[in-house]
Amino acid sequence: MSPGAVKADACLMAYPTAPCVYHYSSLNNYTVGVGDYLYDPAYDLNDEVLIEIDPIDGDGIALGVYQAPGLTGFVLDEINQGYFSIGTSQDLVNDGYSQNPTTYVNILLVFETI
């Protein structure tokens, strides 16, 4: 790698700092409740924990999703996946699982269907 070159991080996450709900697809995730062997009270939101489907290493807690500090819950949504929040402007964090995530302060994002 040459001096000044930047290596891309394959695990880039973007999430709001405002209260948000994570919408997930049943192809990638599911939730479990108290009593399930994958349930961990440290990750409990409204009596459920989001699990990531992993056919190679075995299913486990979707740790990347829990990085959003304002995460309030989960919704099964086969059409749109990701973090959903309501509001005007807010902070957005780009986190490549590094020591120093980048925060964009007081921005407004608008997504339109193409």
Q: Which one is predicted more confidently, 48 or 5?
A: 48
**Alpha carbon distance 71, 83 (integer Å):** 8
Distances (CA, A) of 112 to 46, 92, 109: 31, 18, 10
**Alpha carbon distance 32, 30 (integer Å):** 7
**pLDDT interval class at 76 (50, 70, 90):** very high
Write out pLDDT tens, residues 16-55.
777 889 999 999 999 999 999 999 999 999 999 999 999 9
Domain boundaries, the chain: 13-107
**Alpha carbon distance 102, 114 (integer Å):** 28
- pLDDT at residue number 7: 39
Q: Are 26 and 40 in contact (CB under 8 A)?
A: no
pTM value is 0.73
Q: Which one is predicted more confidently, 69 or 27?
A: 27
Q: Which one is predicted more confidently, 67 or 48?
A: 48
- pLDDT at residue number 27: 96
Question: What share of the chain has pLDDT > 70, as a percent?
Answer: 75
